[in-house]
Structure 1
């Protein structure tokens, strides 16, 4: 039986014709494409509506609330501490702040000290100590701090010095809220200008560096409260007595004023308990408390000191 070769040829020919036509179509499409380098992209502009007067007022109010948040936190924490409003749930203020707010002891003291500095700055500007209102920050007639770090370098200065440093820092910042760097630079210049051989202050907490001084044997690492400032030495109260120590044997702990006051209280409590007639184990415990390198006692240390205070009164 004869094969029909003509059909196969037609089929092949049709397939070839379709393929050629498709290739030509593709080439034609490619040739009609625009060069990407010269292509024009049309972007539709989206109009951003301006803030209404009410929205502008709301934004300004909310910005000022953020700016004075650290101040209000410091004032609130100080009142919680002074009125002991934590006493129904916590034994110490430090424990309360740590569990309630997640704040460390030092952070709490920074906030409280910063709020006191802001009060002093306001007094220097207005002549009276008033609650901060909406003028705080960069948007009002007063230029006041907007963060705790801006005023941290001021905490160790006298109120009048705090006001002067802040005024100079604002001037250097071009009439705006100065960053912490500028405030720190101004403080450093004032400290260098008024520098004296002995920079320690009464009430400051410092560490004893015994080195090779036989008179300070056993006192290395102890902390003490400066009671008198001489030209080249300080009279320092330690856990077991009062000593005159040369400046080369002292190192400042750089505590905040509030922390120094707390350490003063602890030092007085230990001193009232201590006597030469105590057992050696008790003396050793008091000495350990006299070497803590933090401005507070832990809950266990507080309990131990309470027991010794009770025993000393019996």
Structure 2
């Protein structure tokens, strides 16, 4: 026998109204519902006490110094090799512990050094000059590594001077990275020379239509001498002089350039070995075409094996 279909009992909803709250009907019955207003009592915001103002300033300073403190800490971790009990390389340690890329770590470290240079650049004569202009730019420091990134290739004194100019352009406030970059660009354009490369800078070879550079396109090189319109550079297989039109900077940070210099020195010592076999030369050629400033674990192991095989070690 079929049972009759189940019928769900309708839920009942009780409606409660607040006598102090105007209902829809009250609003609808007004002459102009659109002009109806609801009075909201003003909330009085208490002023900060002297202690709260002091706490706020203290916490703001901690936020502003965050990247600076991080860079200083990372530098000490690297220089003292405090990662060695758990990781073979500083790069691996930063990636596992902080999820930082190696390039980001280098930017933080370089940024902390620049902040120190800006602080050191503050002397009595420059303070007097700032006071004459009615500003106190010497007390304004970077709050982000992005703001000082354009200063990495400048000398310490230039870093200070450019930062002061950027602060003035920002009307006494912390300048953005874009403002700092624009100031650096204008200075470079005013003092533009035929050759702006620096000794130790890591560049890429652009062969273009130069037959003398055949087989070297894309290889990295290190500038060892600067001439009017050319540079003498060191590659994985020797030195040569290259016109500035055939060079492109990798824009590596100073620390990255030092790393590449160490790799270059190791390759050069192996190249001088008379018994180096073809397999070894192939490995060195591969390393000479890297597009990064460090060796992977496998590359480091292979290079170490070759060095041990030919007795070329530090």
Instruction: Report the TM-score range of the alignment, normalised by the length of the smaller protein.
Output: 0.7 to 0.9
Whose helix proportion is higher, 1 or 2? Answer: 1
Per the alignment, do residues 74 and 139 of structure 1 end up closer, same or farther by CA in structure 2, a change over 3 Å counting?
farther
CA distance in 2, matches of 1:288, 1:256: 23
Q: Could you say which residue in structure 2 is the equivalent of 1:294?
A: 292
Displacement after TM superposition at 1:76 (Å): 0.7
Of 33, 41, 64, the match for 2:29: 33
Query: What residue in structure 1 maps to residue 117 of structure 2?
Result: 120
Residue 163 of structure 2 aligns with which residue? 166
Number of residue pairs aligned between Structure 1 and Structure 2: 276
Q: What is the CA distance between 1:60 and its match in structure 2?
A: 1.0
1: CA distance between counterparts of 2:120 and 2:106? 21
**Aligned residue number for residue 283 of structure 2:** 285
The answer for the alignment partner of 1:68 in structure 2 is: 65
Does the Cα contact within 8 Å between 2:270 and 2:276 map onto a contact in 1?
no
Report the Cα offset of residue 187 of structure 1.
Answer: 0.4
Structure 2 counterpart SS, 1:313: coil
**Cα separation, 2, equivalents of 1:201 and 1:30:** 80
Tell me which residue corresponds to 1:130. none
Q: Give the alignment's TM-score, normalised by structure 1.
A: 0.83
In the TM superposition, 1:195-274 aligns within 5 A as 195-274=192-271
Distance 1:252 1:90 in 2: 31
Q: 1:185 aligns with which of 178, 182, 186?
A: 182
- Name the structure 2 match of 1:312: 310
Give me the whole-angstrom Cα distance separating, in 2, the residues matched to 1:180 and 1:211: 34
Change (3 A) 1:212 1:55: same
Q: How far apart are the structure 2 equivalents of 1:163 and 1:272? A: 39
Match of 2:142 in 1: 145
Which range moved further: 97-106 or 50-59? 50-59
Task: Give the distance between the partners of 1:31 and 1:178, measured in 2 at CA.
Answer: 52
Give 1:217 shift.
Answer: 2.3
Using the TM superposition, give the Cα deviation of residue 276 of structure 1 relative to its aligned residue in structure 2, in angstroms. Answer: 5.5
SS at match of 1:264: helix
Q: Which has the larger radius of gyration?
A: 1
Separation in structure 1 between the aligned mates of residue 154 and residue 137 of structure 2, nearest angstrom: 26
Q: How many angstroms apart in 2 are the aligned matches of 1:261 and 1:301?
A: 18
- SS at 1:227 equivalent: strand
Measure how far apart 1:83 and its partner are.
0.9
Q: Which of 84, 97, 101 lines up with 2:94 in the alignment?
A: 97
SS of 2:114's equivalent?
Answer: helix
- Correspondent of 2:49 among 49, 52, 75: 52
Structure 1 pair 156–31 and aligned structure 2 pair: CA distance change class (3 A): closer
In structure 2, relative to structure 1, the CA distance for the partners of 1:242 and 1:44 (3 Å cut) is same
Report the Cα distance in structure 2 between the residues aligned to 1:30 and 1:233, rounded to whole angstroms: 86
Do the aligned partners of residues 196 and 30 (structure 1) sit closer, same or farther apart at CA in structure 2, a change above 3 Å counting? closer
Equivalent pair of 2:137/2:168 in contact (CA under 8 Å):
no
TM-score w.r.t. length of structure 2: 0.83
- Kindly report the root-mean-square deviation, in angstroms, between the aligned alpha carbons of the 2 structures: 2.1
Report the CA distance shift for 1:45/1:311 in structure 2 as closer, same or farther (over 3 A): same
Question: What is the distance in 1 between the residues matched to 2:28 and 2:196?
Answer: 84
1:45–1:210: structure 2 CA closer, same or farther, 3 Å change rule? same
Check 1:211–1:47 CA distance in 2 against 1; reply closer, same or farther (3 A cut): same
